[in-house]
A and B are shown apart, each in its own frame.
Chain A
Amino acid sequence: MYRKVPQFVETHLEEIIDSWKARMKDEHGEKFFHIMPEEVIERTSRDFAELVVSSLTEDSAKYDEKLHNFSERIVRLGWSITLVMKAIENFSDTLYDLLRKAGILDDGNVAEYFDILNNWIKPLRQEVVEMYSRTWERTVNLQKIALQELSASLIPVFDKISVMPLVGTIDTERAKLIMENLLEGVVRHRAEVVLLDITGVPVVDTMVAHHIIQAADAVRLVGARCMLVGIRPEIAQTIVALGISLEDFTTTSTLQRGMQEALALTNRKIVEVDEQ
């Protein structure tokens, strides 16, 4: 039995793959074969079948390595985990049907067969699921880091004037980071005026407004002034509808106008050079 099954898989590879494909087509329709190029399916199913053979014939260290490589490749192909699980299940069902038809399986040795089956299906499933979750965790972590890198740095533009451009969604964690960077930067750059640019903030709700007001208050405490710039027309309207009072702020529609005001506040202006 332990020799017959891998032997059967090896000699009947084409038949197994064909009827497995037919089964997948039955359940998922043509859609399944649309999202995947023919040769990828062909190669992957062949690799999968070889993996089955290897699980029954080779020693476990070698098999583990093959299994690892295989699941890594599957994950990289970007197929959904549900589909891959279904594919594995269908493959074993197909194999069962064909073995039965070939007379290798009968009522007498079915139990033995399931034993073999369990030994390769279980670790395979586990490995695939683990690989998927590891990949996801990694992606999420990387994105978190990328998001933090994108967060809020205070840029000194002129003497006494700094700008903090805010881009993207502001959640509680980022709001804290913004506040820290803002205060630290104001002190370090000896800024007297700070321009908070919200051009890149998609939604200003009461929480975001609340954080901005708090940041401005804190900036005032360290002896500087905070201006809110880059207020788009639609954001201005929602702020009014929400009934948020920004009266303590100087606000402008663009960074450019804010900069002019900031220069005026520090008794300076930009003049054109008289060419002679």
Chain B
Amino acid sequence: MAYRSSVDIHTEWDIVAARQLGRNEAKKVGFGTVDQARITTAISELARNIYLYAGAGKIEIERLNEDGLFGIAIIASDEGPGIPDVRKVMEDGYSTSGGLGAGMPGVKRLMDDFRVDTERGKGTKITAVKWLR
């Protein structure tokens, strides 16, 4: 069983807590400063999306070890309204909150694997993985 820890997101400051957790875990796995920055930024985006669109949810961080390959997984889950059009959200510059619209496509580029599971009215679960090279 992989090591997993989590932070509940309710306020803007919980985003900072999630980021801190992610940075510490990334350090433990052995990521360098550039990848640490990538991972914490990705967590920041996902946590902020939870805070903005779902109101509450959680960020889980899992250290991975698959066949000697080390990595870290960010699992962002909420029981919010879900994403109506995933394809649109993954386009650069699309935003419903007046932001830059770079968050979701940005996270995909920051990380190695990226998966969105969403159902309208049920919630969203986003899994993003970074492997140690």
Contacts and interface: CB of A to CB of B under 8 A. Distances in A.
Interface of A: 169, 171-172, 202-207, 209-210, 213, 233-235, 237-238, 241-244
Interface string B24-39: 0000000001101110
Given A204-B41, A242-B45, 5 more contacts: A203-B41, A210-B99, A234-B37, A242-B103, A242-B109
B44 A241 contact: no
A203 B103 CA distance: 14
Contacts of A241: 38, 106, 109-110
6 contacts: A203-B41, A205-B41, A210-B100, A234-B33, A242-B102, A243-B102
B19 interface: yes
From DSSP, what is the main secondary structure of chain B's interface residues? helix
Interface string B71-99: 00000000000000000000010000001
Contact of A238 (B12, B13, B38, B92): B38
Contacts of A210: 99-100
Interface string B2-14: 0000000000110
B40 interface: yes
B63 interface: no
Given A171-B13, A203-B44, A237 B19 contact: no
B40 A209 contact: no
Interface residues of B, number: 24
Contact of A206 (B33, B40, B45): B45
B16 interface: yes
A238 B48 contact: no
A244 B102 contact: yes
Contact of B110 (A172, A202, A238): A238
B94 to A, nearest CB: 12
A244 B34 contact: no
Contacts of A242: 41, 45, 102-103, 106, 109-110
A153 B110 CA distance: 32
Contacts of A204: 41
A172 B48 CA distance: 11
Contacts of A237: 34, 37-38
Contact of B100 (A171, A202, A209): A209
